[in-house]
Amino acid sequence: MEHFSLVLPVSEERPLEQKVQDGIKGHAAVDSVIPMVLQGTDITNTFGGSSTTMALAVKGNDRESIMSELGLTLKDGKLPAAGTKEIAVHWRIATNKGWKIGDKIGSYVDKGERLPGQYTVVGLLDGPSMISFISLETYAAEHNLTDQDLYKTGMLVLPKSEALESMNRYLADIPSYDAKVMSYDTEMADVNEILDSINTTMMIIEGMLIVVLSISVGLLSYIYFYQRHNEFGLLYAMGYTRGQVINRAVSEISGMNIAGFTIGILLALLGGLLLNEFVYIPQGQPLELWNWGYVLRTFSIPLFVMLFSIFPVWRMLSRLDPISIIEGVE
């Protein structure tokens, strides 16, 4: 949606009115308008839910310019011919759905399929946008629509250079009873709403993790260093200062936490690589394996664990009496 926006009728009974079409076509920020019908097919996402990908019914020549705009190429097979019930799908969608070239798909074949009718997969696409193409000519023939009528079923609107924001501002002002607009802004608002919800949930889980880990690892550290109190008592007696002994304990705790964090990150990367290789890439949804923002946020876990581990150990070592230890009183 960084390259175009979609304007769709609010319902089948209420196609896009001429004044809406004319307004869009005549706007200064609009480069061109392509008639289309928006359909879709669902894919299973990483966590078992589903997401809908676009299946655009467009004319052959329009399809080429859209593919060029979106950086899409034909990876395998061919593109749908005009007037046929053929479909070219992105390879990730095909992988996710288990489709291959030659397969018959659609709601006639699989009642659970969102894409209405029956299509034959003839090509696989590659590129950054997970999208599929079918023939608009076929749709027009099935519904007895003229070329002019096709604009009523939906419009893919391409902005002039550097004019996406201006175009989207105009589209956003179209009354919602006249048309449904899908733009970068509307999609991002939806995505951000979902992400905010996920982030809030993750932050709550992370907070709980920090509390549980801080208490449990803090206690474990205390027990671990308490079991070594003979060693620290001896060091005091031999002439190590309290500062030196505490520094030693702090270095060990910090070292263990940082080493644990680093190993954890490496194992997570390895796990991610394996999951991608064997689970998610076959589903067409590879995981993002590295994100500095998440890494830094996750670092708050060892940081808090360190603090909660250091404090009780520091307190214990500050109060340690070497003579009690030498005499076996403690």
Partner 1 sequence: MLLEGKGLTMVYDRGKELETYALRDVNIALDINQMIGVMGPSGSGKSSLLYVLSGLKKPTAGTVVYKGMDLDAMSAVERARLRKKEFGFIFQRHFLIDYMTALDNVLVGINDASAAGKNKALLLMDRLGMKHVAYKKPFQLSGGQRQRIAIARALINDPAVIFADEPTASLDHANAQEVMAVLEEIKAKTSVLVVTHDASILKNADSVIERWDGRIKAEQPEKPVVALSKERHRASAGSE
Q: Could you list the residues that contact partner 1 (CB under 8 A)? A: 228, 230-231, 233-243, 322-323, 326-328
Q: How far is CA 302 from CA 199, 200, 207, in A?
A: 20, 20, 12
Hey, what's the torsion of the CAs at 8, 12, 18, 24, to 10 degrees? 0
HSE toward the beta carbon, residue 259, CA cutoff 13 A = 6
Least distance (Å) from partner 1 to the CB of residue 323?
6
Least distance (Å) from partner 1 to the CB of residue 193?
53
Least distance (Å) from partner 1 to the CB of residue 315?
18
Least distance (Å) from partner 1 to the CB of residue 220?
17
Q: Which is closer to partner 1, CB of 234 or CB of 265?
A: 234
Q: Which is closer to partner 1, CB of 238 or CB of 296?
A: 238
Q: Which is closer to partner 1, CB of 112 or CB of 328?
A: 328
Least distance (Å) from partner 1 to the CB of residue 126?
56
User: Judging by beta carbons within 10 Å of its beta carbon (0-12, 13-18, 19+), is residue 313 exposed, middle or buried?
Assistant: buried
Distance CA 321, CA 182 (A): 72
Least distance (Å) from partner 1 to the CB of residue 225?
13
Q: Which is closer to partner 1, CB of 114 or CB of 248?
A: 248
Q: Which is closer to partner 1, CB of 29 or CB of 235?
A: 235
Least distance (Å) from partner 1 to the CB of residue 311?
22
Long-range contacts: 197-206, Cβ < 8 Å, 24+?
206/297, 206/298, 206/300, 206/301
Q: Which is closer to partner 1, CB of 105 or CB of 249?
A: 249
Q: Which two tokens stand for residue 199?
A: 């982030």
Conformational region of residue 249, where left means phi above 0, alpha means psi within -120 to 50, and beta covers everything else: alpha
Q: Which is closer to partner 1, CB of 202 or CB of 234?
A: 234
